Amino acid sequence: MLEIKVVALAGGVGGAKLVDGLSRILPSDSLTVIVNTGDDFDHLGLRICPDLDTVCYMLAGLANLTTGWGRKAETWNALQSLAELGGPAWFRLGDRDLGTHLERTRLLAKGYALSEVTQKFCEVWGIAPHVLPMSDDQIPTMVQSDEGELAFQDYFVKRKCQPRVTGFYFAGIESAQPSPGVQQSLSEAEIVLICPSNPWVSIDPILAVPGIKEVILDRAKRKQVIAVSPIIAGAAVKGPAAKMYLEMGINPSAASVAQHYGSQDMGGLLNGYVFDHLDAGQDQEITGLGLATLVTNTLMKTLEDRMRLAEQVIDFGKKLLDGNV
Ligand code: FO1
């Protein structure tokens, strides 16, 4: 097993898959996952935390791998009853998944912080890595579009990502704080890994929490920051990332995501960048940004893919740490 302190920044499905791979090749006390909470919202009186649940369900072996959200072996009786009564069924909550939302909402109402609730759930679900929400404050991602401002889930689920986006903002970010343990894990990290999640709405919210980017940029201790491209051959593996890039006037590519995060010697975050064989032609452009590069198969279809990519990324990070790249 590799002894190395790794902190992964993750959002939805792409992030959860790589985190699953990392959790299987790293000792559990050497992996911390900082998860986006910008997608969170209140629905039917329940606090829903999609990216926390996607990461935790994946790590607990409970995830519905087909949809990429919610639980496997799900039933839909409660939602069916709600729909029959004329309630809003557009955001599909399965019976097993509802248990998570009911208990999270109950504990939050009793005054527990989201990070405390998450830790409790991880203990019950037998999740060994540390899973931390980026903040215990609510920081809803708002989508600015040609139809005006939309709450994230209204854009993503109700409107199926149809509106053309012009920008994003994270409401309340100015007064938000990282949740306990986030800054310490980042300052102790030898590898900070930006997972192949949507840069705009899964990773940027994490980096925007005051105090998070600052700690990542502080290279006082041995630290390498690596991102894995969520774009392969101009398309997102899943979700609206490429569509968002196009609507923001940027050509979606592995290189444009590398630019999005920027290299350390240009005041940006990254030392290293991992992208797919299909985009090998962009290697010179990406290297030209001052980044060390790893070109490999980044598509994670199977558990073996997830573990292989995780091993390759960590090996790449160790080489960077030892100055061998
Ligand atoms: N995404 C959908 O496209 N349709 C849904 O009905 C839906 C329900 C849902 C329920 C719980 C949950 O945790 C996630 C759910 N998602 C659904 C996915 C969710 O919108 C996304 O996971 C994130 O917000 C973006 O990654």
Q: Where are the domains of the chain?
A: 6-39+128-157+167-322
Dihedrals phi, psi of 294, to nearest 5 degrees? -130, 115
**6-39+128-157+167-322 CATH pick, 3.40.1080.20, 3.40.50.10680, 3.40.190.10, 1.10.3720.10:** 3.40.50.10680
Q: Identify the pLDDT of residue 31.
A: 98
Predicted TM-score (pTM) of the model is 0.98
Q: Identify the pLDDT of residue 219.
A: 87
Q: Give bridge partners of residue 71 from the DSSP assignment.
A: 63
Q: Are 39 and 134 in contact (CB under 8 A)?
A: no
60 Cα to the center of ligand 1, angstroms? 18
**Tokens encoding 240:** 């609206």
Cα–Cα distance for residue pair 207/177, rounded to 1 Å: 12
Pocket probe mutation, ligand 1, options 49, 91, 104, 158, max atoms within 8 Å of Cβ:
91
* Nearest residue (CA) to ligand 1, atom 15: 69
pLDDT tens for the chain, 325 residues: list them: 557 999 999 998 889 999 999 999 999 899 999 999 999 999 999 999 999 999 999 999 999 999 999 999 999 999 999 999 999 999 999 999 999 999 999 999 999 999 999 999 999 999 999 999 999 999 999 999 999 999 999 999 999 999 999 999 999 999 999 999 999 999 999 999 999 999 999 999 999 999 999 999 998 889 999 999 999 999 999 999 999 999 999 999 999 999 999 999 888 999 999 999 999 999 999 999 999 999 999 999 999 999 999 999 999 999 999 998 7
* Nearest residue (CA) to ligand 1, atom 23: 50
User: Which residue type does 86 have?
Assistant: G
* Long-range contacts of residues 51-55, Cβ cutoff 8 Å, at least 24 apart: 51/10, 51/11, 51/12, 51/15, 51/16, 51/202, 52/114, 52/118, 52/131, 52/133, 53/97, 53/100, 54/12, 54/13, 54/15, 54/16, 55/10, 55/15, 55/16, 55/19, 55/131
Q: Identify the pLDDT of residue 1.
A: 52
Residues with CB under 6 A from ligand 1: 11-12, 39, 48, 50-51, 53-54, 69-70, 91-93, 97, 153, 156-157
Q: Which of 117, 134, 148, 114 is nearest to 8 (CA)?
A: 134
